[in-house]
Amino acid sequence: MKKILWSIAAILIVALISFLYWRFYFVYAEGTKAGQLNTFQEKGIVFKTYEGKIIQSGFKANVESNYFEFSVTKESVAKTLLNNAGKEVELHYKRYFGSLPWRGVQSYIVDSVYAIQGAAVQSDIRAKQ
């Protein structure tokens, strides 16, 4: 009887570990997104994470916004994006089924920047002389 209980417990533990790996660490999709970097900020109460949003180019017929929201875990990628708000960026991302608090709010995690093009739109505000 003890052997059967230990076997069931071992199977349950392996199943739980497999599920947790699949849910939070298995890369479901990988790809690139391009658009204008709209927002990028560090936020959080316990875990400070970098969160961003790009506006993707192209026409959408419905009312939905054409945003791509993502999190960044690498400090070097975060610094690059912090310095390039308003510019066209091409990002590489990995998508997980679930998010972890120390990894970010989103299930899309940007791990590199492929390209940055253009400058931010210039304002019409001029200094008075």
For the chain, list the domains and their CATH numbers: 27-117 (2.40.50)
pLDDT tens-digit readout, 63-109: 556 899 999 999 999 999 999 988 999 999 999 999 999 999 999 99
Name every residue whose Cβ is closer than 8 Å to that of residue 26 and which is 6 or more positions away in sequence: 96, 97
What pLDDT is stored for residue 60 in this prediction? 60
Q: How confident is the model at residue 129 (pLDDT cuts 50, 70, 90)?
A: very low
What number of CA atoms fall less than 13 Å from residue 10's CA on the CB side?
6
Give dist(CA 108, CA 22) in Å, integer. 15
